[in-house]
């Protein structure tokens, strides 16, 4: 492999969007940030120089980081943040994965503007795909834009205990599109040649919203998700949760003309405000006759169209080639995790209490609101055996399995109280882990996209209601289940994932909705060293930032 080297200068950038001039944090003066392209087998080295006024870390979303947990990036999990004026070099190898991933800031809400695409070509080069070679490849980063400073948005939500303000626009490659005010010049445009095939590499980089995406007049064929090939899946609409990626082929075979590509919220939320706007880009044929009529708009599903979303999410299956890891059939560790929003008591003397029932919003896994440390990272505490930073007693069984979406039950506020602790679960090297993820939807019937660092997982089954092992196990796909790093678990629904803990380190699993992560919707997996020198986590690099 080659060495792919970048220098990322993080700093303030002043840009105009939605009729206003704003200063945001960006990399190398670009929003979105630089694209990284590499081949499977390459080494990647990124020198990060923090010229912004904030602490920051960068995360390479979906990269396995085999034996390089120190380069993974979640703040206070694998490293202390890079302070203003500081620097840190992330270096890692790309082994056994190819497709569409991305990178983003992993501290406070900074990833709203600090993100970019990360494309891994097969070792044999672009086009060596298990599908016909596309004529062109097009990264489409779907994002969310705030007029306000996002660090302030987060701090206000945490101090008041209320929900954070919703965003002001969605974006395609950083551009809101011409349905928003003052945005005519900020519309992503894709010029296509009739008869050619395009590979859309779609990333949901939005902070808090799942999205429906469509291109008018064109159907799509999904060929990969989360940098894992799928059995080709034809569809008109793509559903994509924060953290996920979708690779889709588009045949440019429509009548020459101009067509909108568009995305808006998929929100199964009852009574919770969400951004009710649509971002657009324009696909146009180079042979289009000049026209003054607006592009054709796709008919996006309704915001709450759960059947359409569920159909997309569950109809995907992996295209497992003989060289790909197959589903491990013997399970060493089973976990059952309930998760959702919850409440923590509010100290009325020192703050307002803008959450439900006069308390503060929290979120939890198995009633445990994950608390990040502040003095050193969890990976440092693990590696140097520093006691008292975290405990490994994460509950295997939650106190209650309870589904608010059932019409027969009323909400017991006592069930919403969570405890703030830094807790994880330890696995032996190479053990096979199966986790049932149960979205309780006790408070706020929201979907939660659960992201696992350091591993891909097989999605064996998904469904609605309370998880019933006898029924669910009959539906397990053990042959070609979809492979992901982020699974959108629907409100009042569940998913079963399985992975092999073959990478020593401390790995965050959390909701990829940025509003929910600081509220505590996460935990860490501690994977022990293996028996051989090549299965032990090496010591940290010398430039690892200090807290
Ligand atoms: Cu894409 Cu922990 O994040």
Can you give the three-state secondary structure of 511-533, one letter per residue? ECCCCCCCCCCEEEEEECCCCCH
| Residues counted in the chain | 547
Query: Residue 221 C-alpha to ligand 1 middle, in angstroms?
Result: 26
Closest CA to ligand 1's atom 3? 61
Query: Residue 177 C-alpha to ligand 1 middle, in angstroms?
Result: 26
Evaluate: CB of 264 within 6 angstroms of ligand 1. no
Query: Residue 284 C-alpha to ligand 1 middle, in angstroms?
Result: 34
Evaluate: CB of 111 within 6 angstroms of ligand 1. no
**Final residue in a domain of this structure, among 95, 129, 163:** 129
Residue 322 belongs to a domain: no
Please tell me the distance from the alpha carbon of residue 20 to that of residue 14, in angstroms, as a whole number: 10
Evaluate: CB of 451 within 6 angstroms of ligand 1. yes
User: SS3 of 154, please?
Assistant: helix
In this structure, the answer to whether residues 250 and 398 fall within a common structural domain is no
pLDDT for 269: 67
Residue that has been written with the tokens 């996460």 in this structure: 522
Quote the Cα angle for 469-463-312, to 5°: 145
Q: Strand pairing of 136-145 and 197-204?
A: parallel
Query: Residue 510 C-alpha to ligand 1 middle, in angstroms?
Result: 8
Query: Residue 271 C-alpha to ligand 1 middle, in angstroms?
Result: 27
pLDDT for 56: 98
pLDDT for 394: 92
Residue 544 belongs to a domain: no
pLDDT for 346: 78
Walk along the chain (547 residues) in steps of 10 and give the mean pLDDT of each run: 97 97 98 98 98 98 98 98 98 97 97 98 91 97 97 89 92 98 96 98 97 98 98 98 98 96 87 89 90 92 95 96 92 92 75 79 88 96 97 76 52 72 97 94 80 98 90 95 97 94 98 93 97 96 97
Q: What is the DSSP secondary structure assignment for residue 126, as one 8-state letter?
A: T
In this structure, the answer to whether residues 102 and 164 fall within a common structural domain is no
Segment holding 59, helix H or strand E: strand 58-61
Query: Residue 59 C-alpha to ligand 1 middle, in angstroms?
Result: 7
Query: Residue 505 C-alpha to ligand 1 middle, in angstroms?
Result: 16
Residue 547 belongs to a domain: no
pLDDT for 273: 82
Compute CA 222 distance to the chain's CA centroid, rounded to the nearest angstrom: 18
In this structure, the answer to whether residues 181 and 267 fall within a common structural domain is yes
Work out which ligand 1 atom sits closest to the CA atom of 510: 2
Query: Residue 146 C-alpha to ligand 1 middle, in angstroms?
Result: 20
Can you give the three-state secondary structure of 466-512, one letter per residue? CCCHHHHHHCCCCCCCCEECEEEECCCEEEEEEEEECCCEEEEEEEC
**Final residue in a domain of this structure, among 317, 351, 375:** 317
Work out which ligand 1 atom sits closest to the CA atom of 242: 1
Please tell me the distance from the alpha carbon of residue 250 to that of residue 285, in angstroms, as a whole number: 13
- Residues with Cβ within 8 Å of residue 509, at least 6 apart in sequence: 450, 451, 452, 453, 522, 523, 524, 525
Evaluate: CB of 522 within 6 angstroms of ligand 1. no
pLDDT for 355: 83
269 conformational bin, left if phi > 0, alpha if psi -120 to 50, beta if neither: beta
pLDDT for 240: 98
Residue 160 belongs to a domain: yes
Work out which ligand 1 atom sits closest to the CA atom of 102: 1
User: SS3 of 258, please?
Assistant: strand
**Final residue in a domain of this structure, among 83, 106, 129:** 129
In this structure, the answer to whether residues 43 and 21 fall within a common structural domain is yes
In this structure, the answer to whether residues 141 and 273 fall within a common structural domain is yes
In this structure, the answer to whether residues 411 and 280 fall within a common structural domain is no
Evaluate: CB of 453 within 6 angstroms of ligand 1. yes
Q: In what order do the strands lie in the sheet with 368-370?
A: 419-421, 368-370, 360-365, 333-344, 431-439, 493-501, 457-464, 483-484
Tally of domains within the chain: 3
In this structure, the answer to whether residues 360 and 393 fall within a common structural domain is yes
Residue 523's alpha-carbon distances to 98, 207, 261, in angstroms, are 27, 19, 37
User: SS3 of 312, please?
Assistant: helix
349 neighbors 449 (Cβ within 8 angstroms): no
Please tell me the distance from the alpha carbon of residue 127 to that of residue 139, in angstroms, as a whole number: 15
Evaluate: CB of 516 within 6 angstroms of ligand 1. no
Evaluate: CB of 427 within 6 angstroms of ligand 1. no
* Assigned token pair, 87: 């620097």
* Assigned token pair, 6: 């970048």
pLDDT for 293: 87
DSSP one-letter string for 413-458: GGGGB-EEE-BEEEE-TTEEEEEEEEE--SSS---EEEEESS--EE
Work out which ligand 1 atom sits closest to the CA atom of 62: 1
**Omega of the bond prior to 129 within 30 degrees of 0, cis?**
no
Q: In what order do the strands lie in the sheet with 245-251?
A: 169-172, 136-145, 197-204, 245-251, 220-225, 228-235
Residue 465 belongs to a domain: yes
In this structure, the answer to whether residues 415 and 428 fall within a common structural domain is yes
Query: Residue 192 C-alpha to ligand 1 middle, in angstroms?
Result: 33
Segment holding 247, helix H or strand E: strand 245-251
Work out which ligand 1 atom sits closest to the CA atom of 73: 2
Evaluate: CB of 116 within 6 angstroms of ligand 1. no
34 neighbors 103 (Cβ within 8 angstroms): no
In this structure, the answer to whether residues 357 and 485 fall within a common structural domain is yes
Segment holding 156, helix H or strand E: helix 150-160
Residue 78 belongs to a domain: yes
Would the CA dihedral through 523, 74, 373, 66 be positive or negative?
Answer: positive
Q: In what order do the strands lie in the sheet with 87-93?
A: 20-27, 3-17, 43-50, 87-93
Query: Residue 207 C-alpha to ligand 1 middle, in angstroms?
Result: 11
pLDDT for 402: 56
In this structure, the answer to whether residues 396 and 528 fall within a common structural domain is yes
* Assigned token pair, 63: 């990269």
Cβ neighbour number for residue 251 with a 10 Å cutoff: 17
In this structure, the answer to whether residues 12 and 157 fall within a common structural domain is no
Closest CA to ligand 1's atom 1? 61
Residue 545 belongs to a domain: no
Read off the CATH number of the domain in which 112 is found: 2.60.40.420
Residue 85 belongs to a domain: yes
Closest CA to ligand 1's atom 2? 74
Please give the residue range of the domain that contains residue 31.
1-129
The ipTM value here is 0.99
Please tell me the distance from the alpha carbon of residue 66 to that of residue 538, in angstroms, as a whole number: 11
In this structure, the answer to whether residues 83 and 167 fall within a common structural domain is no
């Amino acid at each position: 492999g080659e060495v792919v080297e970048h220098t990322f200068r993080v700093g303030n950038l002043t840009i105009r969007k939605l009729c206003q001039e704003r200063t945001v944090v960006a990399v190398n003066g670009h929003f979105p940030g630089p694209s990284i392209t590499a081949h499977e087998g390459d080494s990647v080295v990124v020198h990060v120089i923090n010229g912004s006024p904030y602490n920051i870390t960068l995360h390479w979303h979906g990269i396995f980081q085999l034996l390089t947990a120190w380069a993974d990036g979640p703040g206070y999990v694998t490293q202390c943040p890079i302070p203003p004026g500081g620097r840190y070099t992330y270096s890692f190898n790309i082994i056994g994965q190819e497709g569409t991933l991305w990178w983003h800031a992993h501290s406070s809400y900074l990833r709203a503007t600090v993100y970019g695409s990360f494309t891994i070509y097969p070792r044999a080069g672009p086009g060596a795909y298990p599908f016909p070679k596309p004529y062109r490849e097009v990264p489409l980063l779907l994002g969310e834009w705030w007029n306000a400073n996002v660090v302030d948005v987060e701090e206000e939500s945490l101090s008041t205990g209320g929900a954070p303000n919703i965003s002001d626009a969605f974006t395609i490659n950083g551009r809101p599109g011409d349905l928003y005010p003052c945005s005519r010049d900020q519309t992503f445009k894709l010029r296509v040649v009739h008869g050619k095939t395009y590979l859309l590499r779609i990333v949901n980089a939005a902070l808090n919203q799942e999205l429906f995406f469509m291109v008018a007049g064109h159907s799509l064929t999904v060929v990969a998700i989360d940098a894992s090939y799928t059995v080709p899946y034809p569809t008109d609409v793509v559903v994509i949760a924060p953290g996920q990626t979708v690779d889709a082929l588009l045949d440019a075979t429509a009548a020459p003309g101009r067509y909108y590509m568009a995305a808006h919220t998929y929100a199964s939320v009852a009574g919770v405000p969400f951004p009710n706007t649509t971002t657009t880009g324009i696909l146009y044929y180079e042979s289009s006759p000049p026209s003054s009529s607006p592009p054709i708009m796709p008919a996006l599903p309704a915001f709450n169209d759960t059947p359409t979303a569920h159909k997309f999410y569950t109809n995907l299956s992996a295209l497992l080639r003989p060289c790909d890891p197959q589903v491990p059939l013997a399970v060493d560790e089973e976990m059952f995790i309930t998760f959702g929003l919850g409440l923590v008591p509010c100290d009325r003397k020192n703050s307002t209490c803008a959450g439900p029932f006069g308390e503060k919003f929290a979120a939890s896994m198995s009633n445990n609101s994950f608390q990040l440390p502040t003095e050193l990272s969890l990976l440092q505490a693990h590696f140097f055996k520093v006691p008292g930073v975290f405990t490994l007693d994460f509950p295997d069984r939650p106190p209650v399995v309870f589904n608010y979406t059932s019409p027969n039950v009323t909400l017991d506020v006592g069930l919403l109280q969570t405890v703030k602790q830094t807790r994880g679960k330890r696995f032996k090297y190479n053990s096979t882990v199966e986790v049932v993820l149960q979205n309780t939807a006790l408070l706020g019937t929201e979907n939660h996209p659960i992201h696992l660092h350091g591993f891909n997982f097989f999605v064996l089954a998904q469904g609605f209601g309370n998880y019933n092992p006898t029924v669910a196990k009959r539906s397990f796909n053990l042959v070609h289940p979809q492979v992901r790093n982020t699974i959108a678990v629907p409100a009042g629904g569940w998913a079963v994932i399985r992975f092999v803990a073959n990478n020593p380190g401390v790995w965050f699993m959390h909701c990829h909705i940025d509003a929910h992560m600081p509220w505590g919707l996460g935990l860490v997996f501690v994977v022990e060293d293996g028996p051989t020198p090549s299965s032990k986590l090496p010591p940290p690099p010398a430039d690892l930032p200090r807290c």
